[in-house]
């Protein structure tokens, strides 16, 4: 475990009573870090502010409790043919739009501004005054949101001690050991039979430098960012990254280009994690001052 860079863990609770659940975040510091230039988009990974990243993928248990507490009506993939429906496994079969509504619930349950604007079931763009720089998907005052490709990539691969990027989100350049579960150093739930299914979200491989688990495997993760890097069309495909339990090591590495999903698409191996900023107003001023999020640019 790359303990020298492990970040502080912040636990936040949502809901109440039998529907209460917690999400653990790790701090992702070292603002204005260097970019990575051997992946797609190019460059990728530089973030101009500090933020928090979900330590784990969102679990089935969290979705079920949020459904009950917030009447969200999110649907989960039946995993009976893929290792079972344990509540501790990642919430797969969730679309980008469903993930966005879940994140809105996180914000409103704490009294914060929603991240994503909906009219009924249809996503709406924020006007420029209420968005962060050029990112028309995310409200500038939201505290919780889907990670952008830069936010996700940095949390997965960046090594602040060397100002460089590891090949895998296990803090290593070596091909990870394929495992069914566990948190051994440089292990990963990947390259398994499709019917094996994912592992529990807190038991799915070694740690990244910042302390996230499973970003290179277990379940593919939906990102906020549109496939062209410009969040200005509600129906365009969204990026997703990280391999799943049956992907090979190339698809789990940082050199793999993004692959895409329609906003309403639900896949058996598609899940997500949540990111946050502790002080949205300060974050939005910084981002606007810098000309917008680094992800909101056309690819080189």
Q: Phi and psi (nearest 5°) for 105?
A: -60, -40
Contact present, 132 and 284 (Cβ < 8 Å): yes
Q: Is the pLDDT of residue 152 over 60?
A: yes
Report the domain count for the chain.
1
Q: Are 59 and 88 in contact (CB under 8 A)?
A: yes
Q: What is the pLDDT of residue 190?
A: 96
Where do we find the tokens 């993928």? Answer: 57
* Both tokens assigned to 115: 């991240």
Rounded CA-CA distance 210/113 in Å is 27
What DSSP state is assigned to residue 180? S
The verdict on residue 188 lying in a domain is: yes
Banded pLDDT at 3 (limits 50, 70, 90): very low
Any domain includes 296? no
Dihedral sign for Cα atoms in the order 19, 75, 102, 253:
positive
Decide if pLDDT at 181 tops 80: yes
pLDDT at 283 over 80: no
What is the pTM for the complete model shown? 0.92
Side-chain half-sphere exposure of 86, counting CA atoms within 13 A: 14
pLDDT-based confidence at residue 133 (cuts at 50, 70, 90)? confident
Q: Stretch 212-236: mean pLDDT, rounded?
A: 95
Q: What is the CATH number of the domain that holds 131?
A: 3.90.1580.10
Provide the token pair at 37. 């230039």
Would you tell me the crossing angle of helices 60-70 and 96-109 to the nearest 10 degrees?
60
- Domain of 232, in residue numbers: 3-289
Q: Is 29 domain-assigned?
A: yes
- Domain-embedded: residue 108: yes
Quote the CA–CA distance of 226 and 299 in Å, as a whole number: 12
298 in a domain, yes or no? no
Q: Domain for residue 294, yes or no?
A: no
């Amino acid at each position: 475990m790359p303990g020298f860079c492990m970040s502080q863990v912040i636990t936040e609770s949502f809901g109440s009573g039998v529907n209460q659940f917690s999400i653990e975040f790790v701090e992702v510091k070292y603002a204005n870090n260097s970019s990575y230039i051997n992946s797609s988009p190019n460059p990728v990974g530089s973030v101009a502010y500090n933020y928090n990243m979900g330590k784990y993928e969102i679990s089935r248990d969290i979705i079920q409790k949020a459904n009950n507490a917030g009447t969200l009506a999110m649907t989960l993939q039946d995993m009976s043919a893929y290792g079972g429906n344990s509540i501790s496994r990642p919430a797969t079969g969730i679309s980008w739009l469903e993930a966005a509504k879940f994140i809105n619930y996180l914000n409103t349950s704490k009294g914060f501004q929603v991240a994503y604007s909906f009219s009924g079931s249809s996503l709406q763009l924020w006007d420029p005054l209420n968005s962060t720089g050029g990112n028309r998907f995310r409200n500038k005052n939201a505290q919780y949101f889907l990670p952008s490709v830069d936010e996700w990539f940095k949390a997965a691969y960046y090594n602040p001690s060397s100002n460089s990027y590891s090949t895998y989100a296990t803090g290593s350049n070596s091909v990870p050991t394929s495992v069914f579960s566990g948190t051994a150093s440089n292990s990963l739930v990947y390259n398994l039979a499709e019917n094996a299914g994912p592992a529990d979200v807190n038991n799915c491989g070694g740690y990244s430098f910042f302390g996230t688990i499973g970003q290179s495997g277990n379940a593919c993760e939906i990102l906020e960012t549109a496939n062209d890097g410009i969040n200005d069309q509600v129906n365009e495909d969204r990026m997703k990254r990280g391999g799943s339990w049956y992907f090979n090591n190339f698809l789990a590495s940082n050199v793999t280009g993004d692959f895409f999903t329609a906003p309403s698409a639900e896949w058996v191996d598609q899940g997500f994690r949540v990111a946050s900023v502790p002080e949205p107003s300060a974050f939005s001023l910084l981002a606007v001052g810098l000309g917008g999020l680094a992800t909101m640019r056309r690819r080189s």
